[in-house]
Every structure is written in structure tokens, then in C-alpha cells.
A and B are shown apart, each in its own frame.
Chain A
Amino acid sequence: MLTAAHLVTLLPLILVGSTAVIAMLGIAWQRHHAGTALVSAAGLVAALLTLPLTFPAASSPPLMQVDGLAVMAGALVLVSALVTVILSHHYLTGYIGPREEFYLLILCATAGALALVASDHLAMLFISLELLSMPLYGMLAYSFRAERSLEAGIKYLLLSAAATAFLLFGMALIYARTGALDLPGIARALAAAPDAWMLAGAALMVVGLGFKLSVVPFHLWTPDVYQGGPAPATIFLATVSKLAVFVVLLRLVLAAPVFHSEWLQGLVTVLALLTMLGGNLLALFQANLKRLLGYSSIAHFGYLLVAIVAGNALAMETTGVYLVTYLVTTLAAFGVVTLVSSPFSGEDADGLPLYRGLFWRRPYLAAVMTISFLSLAGIPLTAGFIGKFYVIALGVADARWWLVGGVIAGSAIGLYYYLRVMVTLYLPEPGMRARDVPNDWGSRLGGITLIALAVIILALGIYPTPMIDWVQRLAGS
């Protein structure tokens, strides 16, 4: 039964949910773009502030497990959603048509992500995953007059449906063998060696979640969806959605012993290798920045799959640190694209030639982009290096030499396209100056957010101790 203590634990989720309701009622009463954005941001900040109250939780609400991992992932989800809201406000200013519903969708999806990272029961997992995905269809197809956006939304819808089918079938197989849907129950029932049905069930669930994480070979939707969706929706997809799904995958792996079987570890190892190499190779000659970042995010989750293979205590810490560094980096990189594409005018500014010589026009914006790309490439003194350091350390500690080799090869290939983008920013010839940010971008909220993100990337790269302590404290419990 729910108790008062449970309600406190659920407070962030409740706050986000009620903000969504308030936003909806507000829209019904009177449309006001800035007001809706402000309310959404306030709700997210309030949820973020109540998050420390929920930890350490005396007891978790039914179907949920509010532990350190959930709180950590919840904080990251809320921060990413907040950045998305801020950037959406800039982006949607130029949108013809209803703008306010976008925030409603963001809030619903955020609630789904918050529940997903804490779910301790397969039913909860499924419902919250759908709550996360459904609004995303709408967000991706938001500028539905643009053909690409509509295409992105429908593509994501269809492939999500396929992924859901895999996931449900896997759950059904596991339920058939164990008769339990809660994770501790499944773990208990599986104390003995798993049989073929169990393995099949677990593998199907990995595949289903792998679709959402765009693990190679289930990645085919990624580039089109990243390119087609409006930039803020892409940010949300690349950060919140991926993060939440990865955390729940890690939770499954840590909880259920079936994932520790040789066979399944071998399968994930192969998937990880394919993902890190495939993502990087496909990005190599990409001229569209959003597609390139899409492939790059594929590769990054390939690196992170090392943690799934290892599945030990250090893997938790690695996941936490890597996700933090990936989030700030991705938010900054996509943020620049969003800002250059703002305000919305039909098509996003995602062609690489548009960014040629950006440094000589907008030095600080280009510096933000350079820092985020250095971080994506994992160069020291940026946050990305700390993440890569953790992944390699985890691979070495667990003696997974194939994966370590894959990470190194992937990084070397990745450098090629990261450097290509970076040097484009500095090339002297003036590019097609069709799109440019307004002169006062740096003093607006979105610009300040981006500069703050760049500073955070550097700060985490130079002095990562606070982040490591935070992650260790939460992951250890």
C-alpha cells in the first residue's frame, strides 16, 4: 500500500505530472508561449529540488525501486529535460502553429523517463517505457508540415512498435518460466541455471531495448529520425530517452542472473563491438550534422555496452560517470545546432557547410561546439575523456580485451569525423551565411545555458572528483 513516506519518494514524479496537467489547463484557458515554457521549467526545477528528499528512501513504493541509481538517473533526466525546455523556447518562437503543446509532450515523456529508471517490475517498466515513447512520436513529428519531420515521427512510431513487440514477447517468455513479473521474484526463480526459454526471453528483451538504444544492427531508424525531427525533439531523444532506457537495461542486468550467462554476455559483446565500430564507420563521411551526431551517439552507447557486459559494481559507477559526461556533451553539441536553427523556419540548419568559418563570426559559440566535439572524441581536459577513461578501465579490469580493442579502434575512427567538423568551424572562407544566430545570443537564456554546459564540460574534465564522489555515493547504495 502507498504510505505518506511513499508519496515523498514519488514527489518528483508527482510534481512533473501535475506540471503537465497545469500546462494543459493553461493552454485550454489561454495560449501563452513564454508562460507555458516558464511553468514547465519551474515544474522541472521543483522536481529537481525535491529529488534529494527522496534519498535515501526508507521504503520504495510498490512496483518501484527508488535507489541510488534511480535518483542519479532521475537527476540527469530532469536536467536534460530542463535544457530541452530552455532551447525549445528559442526554437519554437518562429514556429507557425500551436507551440505550447510541445512542452506538454516534454513533461509527459519526462514523467515516463522518471518512472522508467525506478521501475522494479516488468509491468511498470513497460508502461513507463510507453509513456516515454508516445510523446516522442508527437515531438518528432511536431513540425508535421515539413515532410522529413513527419517521416521521422512515423518511422520512430513503427520501429518502436516493433521493439515493443520484441520486449513484450521476451517478458512473456520469462513470465512463462518464472511466474513472476517483479525483478526480485524473477531473480529468485532463476537461481538455478537458465534454460533455453529463459535465455531467449532475456535476449528478446535486450533486442527490444536495443532498438531504443539504436544498437547496431537495430539502428536503421536513427539517422533519419535524428535528421528529420525538430532539433529540440532530437535532443530529448538523444539524451533523456537513451539514458532512461540504458539505466533500465543496466538494472535488469544487475538484478537478473540470467544476464550473466556466458552466451548472453557473448551476444552483448558482439553487439557492443558492432555498435562502436558501425556507428563510427557510418559517421565517417556524413555531411549532415544531425545525422553525424546520431551515428556518434550510436557509437557512444556501443562503448557504454561494455558496462552491460561487465555487470559489476564498477560497471554501475562507469555507467553513472559516462552518462553524466555524455549528457553534458550531447546537450552542448545539439544545443549549438538548435541555437543556429532557431528560430524555427521550416528546415533545421544541419548541413556542415553552414558552419564553415563559424569561429570568425561567433567565436564563443564555435568554442562551445569545439569543446563539445573534443569531449565527444574523448580528448583529455574535457568530460568525455573521463568517461572514456572509465570505460577503458572497466574493460581492462574485467579483462575484456576485445572490447578494449573495439573502444580504441572506434575512438581512432571517430577522431576523423570529429576533427573534420571541428576544423570546418575554423576554415577561413566565409560559408553560405543563410543562417546565423542573432547577435545577442550570448545574453539570452539558451546561449547562457550552452556556455554553462561548455564550462561544465571543461570543469568535469579538469577536476572530476566531485562528479565521481556523487556517482560513487549513489551507485554504492
Chain B
Amino acid sequence: MILVWLILIPFLGGILCWQADRWGEQAPRWIALATMLFVLVIALWLWLTGDFALPAGAQNQWLLEWRADWIPRFGIEIHLAIDGLSLILIALTGFLGALAVLCSWHEIAHRIGFFHLNLLWILGGVVGVFLALDLFLFFLFWEVMLVPMYFLIALWGHSGSPGQTRIRAATRFFIYTQASGLLMLVAILSLVFIHFGNTGQWSFSYEVLRQTDVPEPMAYWLMLGFFVAFAVKLPVVPFHGWLPGAHAQAPTAGSVDLAGILLKTAAYGMLRFGLPLFPEQSANFAPVAMTLGLVSIIYGAVLACGQQDIKRLIAYTSISHMGFVLIAIYSGSQLAIQGAIVLMVAHAFSSAGLFILSGQLYERIHTRDMRFMGGLWGRIPVLPGFTLCFVAASLGMPATANFVGEFMILFGTFPRAPVVAVIASVGLVLAAIYSLILMQRVHFGPSLQKDRLAGPDAREYVMMLTLLALVILVGLYPQPLLDLTAGLSQATAGLFVDGSLSALAGEVR
């Protein structure tokens, strides 16, 4: 039952926030903060009390499970379950959710209750995605989180450069993800009907459908249906058109959620559904996926170098980082997959830090255009130092969590696909370049004005210090994360073992 509450708490909290508008400006903020901290505390409590030392090949990989009939006509159940990966991501959702509330404390000045309703509903949908084991339920949460995100961008976003209105960015985001989601729905339904044809049983259950025997050309198409939906959300390069606009136009809280958590739902979907449902097809597809990952890494990094808008720059670096995650997921190596999970967490922290910082800059100088910045090091106390730290994390400096993740990914991928690993490491060099460009153009050089700007207040200090502490903590001691996900990544890597990939990895070579 605790799993149901994990999903319901954000939804109920959201409604409460909406109604709390009448009790004053601060009420919705405190309620939202309390809600997200509550989710975080539940997740941490599960982490501390749960036993994740899974024996290899255990029958039941779930720490907790909850199921109930929903639509018996099609064998659809409300089936929730949690394992190490979901737990990490839910804890992350709770943490970043609280940060999102904190960082919009001053930014959002009107229609506060409705803003927090949308914010919490996104997070509720995301928690649902991380818990759902019934494919219908998974698809439902996958789509449900889009609607509040749309409103968040469309109503509270910034209108950036000319021709880039926030409504257009939000609409593009919605159409991209919804249309690709429908492809996934078609794939899910085809899988269910094939299963029905084979056995005469209706089921949308993950465990049942994993056993389905899908005829060959069909299986490949179905795998692609899932892959496209996840690739749009991750995003992988040919499907990334929505991301820069949505990031740049969204309010800070929206960008934090988008980069920190929503992108991770895609990687989670691949690890949980895409690969296990179609192991052989995915192994065959791995060279293509890895190539797309490489393209994303290079393309994202090169485009990041050319951006004028600081939030667009960070958005493009997300594409680059997610390229690493994609390579790792399709590498079939346990080390790389664990690296991907660490990188997901690390990227959530570092990109959230950078987005919050750019939000704080915007509150002070009212622009996100780097052409109008420069020399801020001398004008703002403390913030530039934090920026330097998060930029260092983003470029993968040792002792930060990002370093651990990227190193494990490259190290794990190398034995399987050396060429891929070598090209991917070029991405690290490019990361150094765009990070330094960001630092240089914003904080160094001649300053346009002389007046001093306010330093961070206590709230901003708390957010930055917590994030920084986590980045360094995970960078120095990532073992708890690795323990938590060892079972899952071993099983996922095991899907690829049977030679098929090693043969194909030769082609990549």
C-alpha cells in the first residue's frame, strides 16, 4: 500500500496547493515543499529498511509489490513494484521536486497554487512511471505527466528569442512526446494481441508479456516502437527537436524537473521495458543505438558550444550526456549499465544545479543571453564559485559523480565496442570546451556594468550546498548506488551475453 501512497501523495498535495491559494501566497509553497519532502523521506526510509542484497537469479526481484484488478476485460491490473533502480529514481524525484519548489520561491509570483498543482502532478506522474509494472498503467503515467508539464511551460515560461514563444515550445514538446507515446501504445497492443493469439489470455503484465513468443519481423518493429518513444524522451539526436526550446522556455522549476527527472524516465523505460521485452532484437539493434548515442554526444556538445542562450546551452549538454547513457544501456556490460545509472543521478544533480544557477542569474540581471553577460565574477559574490563547481561536475572532473559515471561507462563499453568507447571519449574533450565557454562568457571578461548584485540568500545557499555535497559524495563514494542496482544491471547485461552482440560489435569496429 505504501507504493500507492507514493503516487497519491503528490497528486493529493497538488490539489491541496491549488485550494491553498486562498490562504495566502506562502501556503501553497510550504504544502508543496512538505509533500515532496514526504515522498523523499518515504523513499529514504524504504532504502534504509529494505534488503537489496539479491541473490543472483532470484525469483522475485521486487522489494515491494502491490496489485489490484483494474480493467478485467483486457486483463489490465494496477500493478506496482519497486526495486533498487525505481527506488533511486523515486528518491531523486522527491529531492529534485523539493528543489523545484524551492527554486521557484521568488520566481513564480502569480497563480502560485495552480503552478504547484502542475508541478506536483508532474512529479506524481513520474513516480507512477517508475513504479508501474503493468504496461497499460505505465503508458498511462507516461502520458499523464505531459499535461501538467505543458501547462508549466506554456503558462509560466519565458518567451525567449523572437519567434520562440513559450506556447510553441510547449506544444512542440507535447506533440513530440504524445505522438511517440502512441507508437509505444501500438507496440504494447500488438504485443498483447500476439500474446492473446498464443495463449487466449488477456494480459498487460510485464512478467507475462516477457514470456511472449513474438514472430520475428514483428518483434523488431515492436522493439522499434518502444525505442522511438524512449528515444524522443531521452532525447536521441534525430528526435531531439523539442528539447532546447522546452528547456529554454520553461521556468526554472520546469527545467530542473525536465532535465533532472523526465529525461531519466526514458532511460528507465529502456532498462525496465525496452531491453527485457525484446532482448534479441535489442542486441541486434545495439550497433544502431550506439551509433545514435555517439551522434548525440558529438552533436549535442558541438551545438552547445554555439549557443547564446545559457539555458539552451545547458539543454544541449543534456543531449550529449544522455548519449553516454544510451551507449551504456546498449553495451550489454554490467559495469557500463551501473555507470549509466550513476551518470543519470549525477546529471540530475549537476544540470539541476546549473539550471537553478541560471535561474538565479536571470532573477538578478534579467537576461539569459550570454552576449549581455561577462565579468560577473566581480559583481556577484559566491554564485560564480558555485557555477564553477557545477561546470566542473558537468565536464566530468574527477571527484565528482559525473566522473564516476562517465568513467564506468567508457570502461565497461571498451571491451565490447572499443571504437565506440574511443569516439565517445572525444565527447569529454568537447565537454571541457563548452563548459569553459560557459564560464568564460558569463563570469569572466570585461563586465558591462559596474554595480554589485546581491549574493545568494539562505535559501539559495541551502540548495546549492546540498546539491554540491551530493555531487561530491556520490563522486567519492558511489558504492551505495552500485549495491542497490547490482541485481538489475547484472540481469540486464545478462540479456545480451549470448554472443549475438559480440559478433555485431565486430561490425561496429
Contact = CB atoms under 8 A, between A and B. Distances in A.
Interface stretch (A6-14, A149-157, A408-416, A440-448): A408-416
Contacts of A469: 73
B497 interface: no
A55 interface: no
Closest 10 CB pairs of A and B: A412-B179, A380-B140, A396-B189, A408-B182, A380-B143, A468-B73, A423-B154, A393-B189, A397-B193, A396-B190
A404 interface: yes
Interface of B: 70-74, 110-111, 139-141, 143-144, 146-147, 150-151, 154-155, 167, 170-171, 174-175, 178-179, 182-183, 185-186, 189-190, 193
B174 A392 contact: no
Contacts of B182: 392, 407-408, 411-412
Contacts of B139: 380
Interface in A388-426: 389, 392-393, 396-397, 404, 407-409, 411-412, 415-416, 419-420, 423, 426
A468 B150 contact: no
A67 to B, nearest CB: 21
Given A381-B144, A464-B71, A419 B155 contact: no
Given A397-B193, A415-B175, A415-B178, A392 B186 contact: yes
Contacts of B154: 419, 423, 426
Nearest to A401: B186
Contacts of A423: 150-151, 154-155, 167, 170
B174 A415 contact: yes
Interface in A342-376: 360, 374
A416 B150 CA distance: 12
B70 A465 contact: yes
Given A408-B179, A428-B110, A419 B174 contact: yes
Contacts of A381: 140, 144
Contact of B73 (A374, A407, A409, A472): A472
Contacts of B179: 408-409, 411-412, 415
Given A416-B175, A465-B72, A392 B151 contact: no
A409 B179 CA distance: 7
Given A389-B185, A468-B73, A420 B143 contact: no
Interface string A436-477: 000000000000000000000000000111001100100000
A407 B186 CA distance: 11
A420 B168 CA distance: 10
A379 interface: yes
Contacts of A389: 185
A396 B185 CA distance: 10
A404 B73 contact: no
Given A374-B147, A415-B178, A465 B73 contact: yes
Interface size class of A (residues with CB under 8 A): 20 to 34
A465 B76 CA distance: 10
Contacts of A404: 186
B178 A411 contact: yes
B145 to A, nearest CB: 10
A381 B148 CA distance: 13
Contacts of B186: 392, 396, 404, 408
Given A380-B144, A381-B140, A393-B189, A419 B150 contact: yes
A404 B183 CA distance: 9
Nearest to A398: B193
Nearest to B71: A465
A468 B70 CA distance: 12
Contacts of A360: 111
Interface in A139-166: none
Given A404-B186, A415-B174, A426-B151, A396 B193 contact: yes
Contacts of B147: 374, 379
20 contacts: A379-B146, A379-B178, A380-B140, A380-B144, A381-B140, A381-B144, A385-B143, A392-B189, A393-B193, A396-B189, A397-B189, A407-B182, A409-B179, A412-B179, A416-B171, A419-B150, A419-B170, A423-B167, A468-B73, A469-B73
Nearest to B150: A419
Nearest to A411: B182
Contact of B183 (A374, A408, A416, A468): A408
Nearest to A381: B144
Given A396-B189, A426-B151, 16 more contacts: A374-B147, A379-B143, A380-B144, A381-B144, A392-B189, A412-B182, A415-B171, A415-B178, A415-B179, A419-B174, A423-B150, A423-B170, A426-B155, A428-B110, A465-B70, A468-B73
Contacts of A426: 151, 154-155
